[in-house]
Amino acid sequence: MKLALSESQSMLRDTVARLFADEATPERLRAAEATGVDQALWDKLVELGIIGIRSVAPQDGGMTLFDAVIVAEEAGRTVAPVPLIEAIVATGLLHRAGAPDALLSAVDGGAPATIALKPVEPGTSQVVLGGSSAHVVVALEGNELIAFTGLGAARVPGLSVVDEGEVGGEGAGDLAGGQDAPADGSGGCGHAPTVVHPTWRCPAGRRRRIIRPVGPTCHDTARRMTTL
């Protein structure tokens, strides 16, 4: 079994290693403590296409899960202050599940996306990685993949109570309706709403291919999302 990196994987590793070494300096880490995000580093990752590394399936010419692991490993070496892994997973899910063009354009253009690791249920809440800066939160509701959108999507009334980003099921009747969601699925990314509705749900036929039934644990949900 050949375990060495391929030429393209070595190039990817070297590229991101240089980027993180140059950008994730101790001074920049301290400056980003309040928000957890270094905007200049985030912008460069978006420009290089790193955030969308899993947007296309490998069999269709996209990059593999191992490629994403290489990026994550190099980010970890410098404790890069960006919501990298959650954004890669969320962006990949949105693309492969056929989200509206407006929503895809927002995340491809740099609107931070993250995932809720447990299904959204009435009367419950959960901390969301990178939720304090997220514009898009991708979650499971039953077997449906849904997206909450808007600046600080994990911190609006009815969804959150903590700065780390928390999605909850309080008022889930209102949240599940989505009557006020824009028809184009944009959800007003870049504007702070007072209420966030699911602005998109994965169509039934596509959902069956993308989303597998999940168990009750955070680990199960995270594993199934990540292996996409």
Task: For 172-225, write each residue's pLDDT tens digit.
Answer: 222 222 333 333 333 333 333 233 445 555 654 444 334 333 333 334 444 444
Does residue 86 register a pLDDT over 60? yes
Amino acid 195: pLDDT: 33
**Do 120 and 209 fall into the same domain?**
yes
Amino acid 200: pLDDT: 59
Q: What is the pLDDT of residues 89-141, one digit of tens each?
A: 999 999 988 888 888 998 999 999 998 888 887 777 777 888 778 888 888 88
Question: Last residue of some domain: 56, 82, 108?
Answer: 82
Q: Containing domain of residue 152, as a range? A: 84-228
pLDDT band at 58 (very low <50, low <70, confident <90, very high): confident
What residue type is assigned to position 17 of the chain?
A
What is the pTM (predicted TM-score) of this model? 0.71
**Do 195 and 111 fall into the same domain?**
yes
pLDDT band at 157 (very low <50, low <70, confident <90, very high): very low
Confirm if 210 and 97 have CB atoms less than 8 A apart.
Answer: yes
Q: Average per-residue pLDDT in the chain?
A: 72
Question: Last residue of some domain: 82, 102, 122?
Answer: 82
**Do 128 and 96 fall into the same domain?**
yes
Residues 200-211 as b/e (b if ≥16 CB within 10 A, e otherwise) read bbbeeeebeeeb
Q: How many domains does the chain have?
A: 2
